[in-house]
Structure 1
Amino acid sequence: MLDDITRALAEVGQPFDDTRTHYCQVQATALDEGRCTLAGAVLDDATLAALLDGLAARFPAIRFETAGVYVLRAAQPRTAAVGTNLTGLYAKPSFLAEQVSQLLNGWPLEILMTEGRWAFVRQADGYLGWAYAPYLAPAHGCAFSHLVSAAVSLLRAEPSPAAPIVTRIMGGAAVAVDAVDAGWSHVTLAGDSAGWVPAGDLRAFSVLPQDTAARRGQMLADAARFTGVPYLWGGCSALGIDCSGFSQLLHRLVGVTLPRDADMQFDAGRPVEAPFEPGDLLFFGEAGETRSITHVAVSLGGWRIVHASRSRNGVYEDDVQAVEHLRESFVGARRFI
């Protein structure tokens, strides 16, 4: 019977198999006199409830004990912010593990559990992974007012291009401006770095484009700033970026939130057909019985695209119809603006 329950756990847990946004690691450890002891961890109460409902439907005579199941999202969550200018998000608690994404300064995080010097964190969009805990800081108390719209902005000790560099702020990071001086803006970052950046490197949330045409035009201008940025799996900054990190960043800079990965973006967007508008996302996949999404590009209008290309090792423009592997692997297009 315990083996039957183990198999049932695998079945009812299938909706939570995507470890990018779900956590469900529960085992049946003992069965005695109609009571089954469960142990492990789940992301939230809803996950645990779904497991128990599925088990109860299959084994109505068995009582399932869940005292040994840890719910990661507690009623009073532990919060933090990214305290460095940039850090990796990893599949496992090790710098040698796969980098699944990156985190920019000030991004809010929910700490779900810790292991040594590592924290298992949840981003605001639900994306999960391991971050190096010494690179995190207390949750940022200031209200963000601007996005860094430059690919990289140099934070200086004084409002002068000759002043010493304090650090670099990556494009897409949110900052709070607390003073201005002759074309310079003073910002304080999570982790307590403070200094001055050129005001032109920032874009106030209050002036983000609101209509579709303005957003499309701004995305084209922003995309040009990232030309030549090298390709990096899991990257989402001008120090290295992958295809979905690039499409996500361009949308963030016009105030639109996208899921992190290409397949997630494909599922979330509105389907569109050619002719494509600037800002539409074009998706590509590997051949097979079904096409799994493996790449995303941003349309510049029609089949002309800009993308973080692994084959070209960076952000460059291409014409889908002129590149055989792109033309033959095209799956479909989606729109978010």
Structure 2
Amino acid sequence: MALDRRLHAYRDDLADTVLQGQVTAARFTSGAPARLAVPVAGLRPRPDAASGIDTELLFGEDVAVFDRADGWAWVQATTDGYVGYLPESALATDGGQPTHHVIVPRTFVYPGPDLRFPVSAALSMGSRIAVVGEAETRGTRYFLLADGRAVVAGHCLPLGTYATDDYVAIAARFLETPYLWGGRSGFGIDCSGLVQLALQMTGRTAPRDSDMQASGLGAVIAREDLRRGDLVFWKGHAGIMTDEKTLLHANGHTMTVALEDFEAAVKRIGWLYEMPTGYRRPVA
């Protein structure tokens, strides 16, 4: 099996135990469990704040930590297996087990159960929280967290339950969200991040990057068979068909998540990325 450094944790000095016999490393480890303790953290290919991000992890997501050094942690995300570096301060090893996830593009965390309180943080869709209680203030119901903070209950559902099975409708909720290279949140998102997160919020799994999605997500279809929910791929880009003629995608042209006539998009994108490389239909 060909190894991909984005999905397999190996360096000359250290590697994941599961890769013994496949790679050469001075030492092997299985990784220690930890969980993201900040709203969003960029995962980078190097322990360097000046390097671009490959993807993002969201509050409450689990990782395996292979190494900690100089304020950085080398981790692998449990959600999609992505490997990279993030600030060690973004992780926690204790705290309650998540019970719910955020199902709206963005929500606020308050210091207590009252929308008039000053906001203490903001969380993206897909974030996972540990609910320990409930409260109601002036008719608004809140979920309480272990540290006393509160989140609007209507913005969350128990883990394993979803608001809809229509992933296109989920993706459309991100319209006009800023484009962010490597982004995977309601604060900024890229093309493949939009595909992945929208599918995840309907209970489906998807690889992170567009090349991974283009080679193995769902089934190959023909261009003339495109319908709502199908995916279109270019070299380095992915989009979602909302119907036979309209493409929804996070893109660097508008720098937002936007709707675009599909044929017009093919012509516009063609000068830089050539013609689409494939079409796929996610498995229901």
What band does the TM-score fall into relative to the shorter chain?
A: 0.7 to 0.9
2:228 is equivalent to residue 278 of structure 1 = yes
- Secondary structure (helix, strand or coil) at the match of 1:186 reads strand
Report 1:1-337 matches (<5 A). 15-16=2-3, 18-26=4-12, 40-45=13-18, 47-51=19-23, 69-71=26-28, 73-74=29-30, 77-124=31-78, 125-142=80-97, 144-182=98-136, 183-188=140-145, 194-205=148-159, 207-208=161-162, 215-216=165-166, 219-269=167-217, 270-273=219-222, 274-285=224-235, 294-323=236-265, 324-326=267-269, 329-334=275-280, 335-337=282-284
- Secondary structure (helix, strand or coil) at the match of 1:50 reads coil
- Secondary structure (helix, strand or coil) at the match of 1:99 reads coil
Residues 103-124 of structure 1 deviation map (CA, whole Å, 9 limit, x = unaligned): 1111111111122110100111
Q: Distance in 1 between matches of 2:148 and 2:121?
A: 9
Displacement of 1:233 in angstroms is 0.8
Q: Is the 8 A contact 1:186 1:194 kept in 2?
A: no
Distance 1:136 1:200, change over 3 A: same
Q: Distance in 1 between matches of 2:202 and 2:96?
A: 24
Larger relative contact order (Cα-Cα within 8 Å, sequence gap ≥ 6): 2
Q: Is the 8 A contact 2:113 2:144 kept in 1?
A: no
Displacement of 1:302 in angstroms is 1.7
Q: Which amino acid aligns with 1:232?
A: L
Distance 1:92 1:50, change over 3 A: closer
The count of aligned residue pairs is: 273
- Secondary structure (helix, strand or coil) at the match of 2:215 reads helix
Identity between Structure 1 and Structure 2 (%): 26
Q: Is the 8 A contact 1:171 1:238 kept in 2?
A: yes
TM-score w.r.t. structure 2 length?
0.87
Q: Distance in 1 between matches of 2:155 and 2:179?
A: 23
> 1:11 maps to what in 2?
none
Residues 198-221 of structure 1 deviation map (CA, whole Å, 9 limit, x = unaligned): 222113335426xxxx522xx233
Q: Distance in 1 between matches of 2:252 and 2:64?
A: 31
Q: Is the 8 A contact 1:106 1:140 kept in 2?
A: no
Q: Distance in 1 between matches of 2:160 and 2:49?
A: 38
Q: Distance in 2 between matches of 1:311 and 1:113?
A: 38
- Secondary structure (helix, strand or coil) at the match of 2:207 reads coil
- Secondary structure (helix, strand or coil) at the match of 2:76 reads strand
- Secondary structure (helix, strand or coil) at the match of 1:126 reads coil
Distance 1:193 1:83, change over 3 A: farther
- Secondary structure (helix, strand or coil) at the match of 1:263 reads helix
More strand by share: 1
Distance 1:237 1:225, change over 3 A: same
Distance 1:206 1:22, change over 3 A: closer
Q: Is the 8 A contact 2:32 2:65 kept in 1?
A: yes
Q: Distance in 2 between matches of 1:259 and 1:299?
A: 18
Q: Distance in 2 between matches of 1:88 and 1:315?
A: 20
Unaligned runs of 5+ in 2: none
- Secondary structure (helix, strand or coil) at the match of 1:155 reads strand
Q: Is the 8 A contact 2:192 2:209 kept in 1?
A: yes
Displacement of 1:130 in angstroms is 0.3
More helix by share: 1
